């Protein structure tokens, strides 16, 4: 349980720091979340290990990413498409 809390805290901290830096340079926060997920997967050796819970967390991450992309689209952009 302690290990999971440390991983969650590090994930939130890395994502927050990267997004603050990316916002300063005008880069989208979605890129920051993708990069922070990559950093966390390499830092905690999630590569090649098949955790069922990690798969579920990844699926929620994809859903939240699609939701965030949907929030950035406005009706004017959709009408133009």
Q: What is the pLDDT of residues 7-32, one digit of tens each?
A: 778 888 888 898 899 889 988 887 88
**pLDDT at 48 > cutoff 60:** no
Closest C-alpha among 49, 47, 48, 36 to residue 10: 36
Domains identified in the chain, total number: 1
**Average pLDDT of every residue of the chain:** 77
**pLDDT at 38 > cutoff 60:** yes
- Report yes or no: 23 and 29 within 8 Å, Cβ to Cβ: yes
Q: Is 45 helix (H, G, I), strand (E, B) or coil?
A: coil
The boundaries of the domain holding residue 11 are: 2-80
The string over 37-56, giving b where at least 16 C-beta atoms fall within 10 Å of a residue's C-beta and e elsewhere, is: beebeeeeebeeeeeeeeee
Q: What is the largest CA-CA distance in the chain?
A: 50
């Amino acid at each position: 349980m302690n290990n999971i809390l440390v991983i969650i805290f590090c994930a939130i901290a890395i994502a927050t720091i990267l997004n603050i830096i990316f916002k300063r340079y005008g880069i989208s926060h979605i890129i920051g979340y993708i990069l922070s997920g990559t950093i966390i997967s390499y830092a905690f050796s999630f590569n090649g290990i098949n955790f069922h819970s990690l798969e579920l967390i990844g699926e929620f991450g994809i859903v939240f990413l699609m939701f965030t992309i949907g929030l950035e689209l406005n009706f004017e952009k959709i009408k133009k498409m």
